[in-house]
A = this chain, B = another copy of it.
Amino acid sequence: MSPWDRRGTVAGMTADYRARRQALRDTARAAEADVDAVLITNLTNIRYLTGFTGSNAALWVDLADTAEREASTVIATDGRYRTQVGEQVPDLRAHLARAAARGLVEATEPGTRRLGYESHVVTVDEHRSLQAAAEHIELVRLPGLVEKLREVKDEDEIRALHAACAAADAALAQLIDDGGLRPGRTEREVGRELEFLMFAHGAEAVSFETIVAAGPNSAVPHHRPTRAVLRAGDFVKLDFGAVVDGYHSDMTRTYVLGTPAHWQREIYELVQRAQEAGRAALAPDMPAAAVDAAARSLIDDAGYGELFAHGLGHGVGLEIHEAPGIGAGASGSIPGSAVVTVEPGVYLAGRGGVRIEDTLVVRAGGPELLTMTPRELTAI
């Protein structure tokens, strides 16, 4: 098997990179920036458009309105990746240069007048270097074009996200079945075991450092696991994810070790209702702020609004956090076939907190759940 057997392909199918590049051309033209080409330097965007997974690359996407535009679309990387770029990107010409973006700009055809670039990614110093490499080219800010395309997942991507969520579901089920969540263990021990189980169930990596937060620590939204010991009566909050074929899952569950106290039941059921309302509000082209409000209003009405101090959710895909954001201040709407999280929480400082989070596909007939672990209040 090739060393890159699991990259550049999803569930055995090569993604349609040519169609993605064409979509970028259409978007760039719609931006009315009158550019001859677009220079892509964000590595995740390059992976999305070509399948290349190396750590140094730039992509020159020709916008010419002729059949030759794919033939004059070029990927650049350095000599370490000579073999890899040929295997992963057999359909594009490769240019070898240590400074990949600068190498592409230096090798520009004389006809290029205006070049779009990712101004949300390119640093001030890199911009100076590019401009110095080709003084006759006008560099034109075109931020976020590929990120916008990536909001809408195709079925290959959804299949990978499904597999990633299934690996996380299976790992959590086994952790609980094996008695791994019990008083006396440390947060770190539980986190390591959960990560080990995700690998055992097919993850190629973890989406982020697993959050295990017990007792008062569960009231810290972004707690990192410590040597703190799980105790009877504690809330235990687990926020974790698996990566499959480059795609990330994201899920949070909160359990009670023993019989839930009244206050625990109260905030759990509140968060559960808010999470259901947020999920139910997901529909193609819904304003993101309205989805946030559908969940947040329940928590506000219960008097806990100030204790839910983060957004309701975010897109997931090749990155763990990507567009669209779902929060009170979000201005856009959520397209159909976006894959997003819904994750309200209520956190009582010094006592404990609850967050419930799922990953879902936005569909016309109602959202499709990818994370399947039960959400009911569970005493362990």
Residues of A near any B CB (own CB < 8 A): 1, 3-6, 54-55, 79-81, 83, 119-125, 127, 141, 143, 192, 196, 199, 205, 209, 217, 220-224, 226-228, 309-310
- Other than A5-B227, A80-B221, A80-B310, give 12 A-B pairs with Cβ distance below 8 A: A1-B227, A1-B228, A3-B220, A3-B223, A3-B224, A55-B222, A80-B222, A120-B123, A122-B123, A123-B124, A124-B124, A125-B143
The interface residues of chain B lying within 8 Å CB-to-CB of A221 are: 80
Q: Which residue of chain B has its CB nearest to the CB of A209? A: B205
Which of these, B123, B199, B228, contacts A119 with CB under 8 Å? B123
Of B3, B79, B141, B217, the contact of A124 (CB 8 Å cutoff): B141
Copies of this protein in the complex: 2
Residue of B whose beta carbon sits closest to that of A81: B222
- Can you list 21 A-B pairs, Cβ within 8 angstroms, ordered by A? A1-B227, A1-B228, A3-B217, A3-B220, A3-B224, A3-B226, A5-B227, A6-B226, A79-B309, A80-B310, A81-B222, A83-B220, A119-B124, A120-B123, A120-B125, A121-B123, A123-B123, A123-B124, A125-B141, A192-B199, A196-B196
Q: Flag if B1 contacts A226 (CB, 8 Å).
A: yes
Chain B hits for A83, CB < 8 A = 220
Name which residue of chain B comes closest to A124, CB basis.
B119
Main secondary structure of the interface of A (DSSP, over half): loop
Q: Nearest CB to that of A220 among chain B residues?
A: B3
Which residues in B have their C-beta under 8 angstroms from that of A5? Answer: 226-227
Question: How many Å lie between the Cα of A223 and that of B81 in the bound state?
Answer: 10
How far does the alpha carbon of A209 sit from the alpha carbon of B5 in the complex, in Å?
17
* Minimal beta-carbon separation of A321 from chain B (angstroms): 10
How many whole Å from A130's CB to the nearest CB in chain B? 10
Query: Residue of B at shortest CB range from A55?
Result: B222
Specify which of A119, A122, A209, A217 lies most central, judged by the most chain B CB atoms within 10 Å of its CB.
A119
Residues of B within 8 A of A1 (CB): 226-228
Complexed CA–CA distance, A309 and B223 (Å):
42
Cα(A27)–Cα(B297), bound, Å: 51
Q: Which single residue of chain B is at the shortest CB-CB distance from A189?
A: B199
- Nearest-CB distance from A304 to chain B (Å)? 16
Residues of B within 8 A of A205 (CB): 209
The distance from the CB of A223 to the nearest CB of chain B, in whole angstroms, is 6
Instruction: Report whether B125 and A124 are in contact in the complex, using a CB–CB cutoff of 8 Å.
Output: no
**Chain B residues, CB < 8 A from A3:** 217, 220, 223-224, 226, 228
Across-interface contacts of A199 in B (CB, < 8 A): 192
Chain B residues lying within 8 Å of A196, measured Cβ to Cβ, are: 192, 196
Q: Which residues of chain B have C-beta atoms less than 8 A from A122's C-beta?
A: 123-124
Q: CB-CB < 8 A to A228: which residues of B?
A: 1, 3
**CB-based nearest B residue for A144:** B125
**Residue of chain B at shortest CB distance from A192:** B199
Q: Which residues of B contact A81 (CB under 8 A)?
A: 222
Chain B residues within 8 Å of A143, by CB: 125
With A and B bound together, what is the CA distance between A144 and B93 in angstroms?
34
Q: How far is the CA of A222 from the CA of B124 in the complex (A)?
A: 30
Distance in angstroms between the alpha carbons of A365 and B121 in the assembled complex: 44
- Using Cβ atoms and an 8 Å threshold, which residues of chain B touch A4? 224
Most chain-B Cβ atoms within 10 A of its Cβ — which of A6, A83, A124, A209? Answer: A124
The answer for the CA separation of A192 and B200 in the assembled complex, in Å, is 10
Chain B hits for A124, CB < 8 A: 119-120, 122-124, 127, 141
Residues on B with C-beta less than 8 A from A226 are 1, 3, 5-6
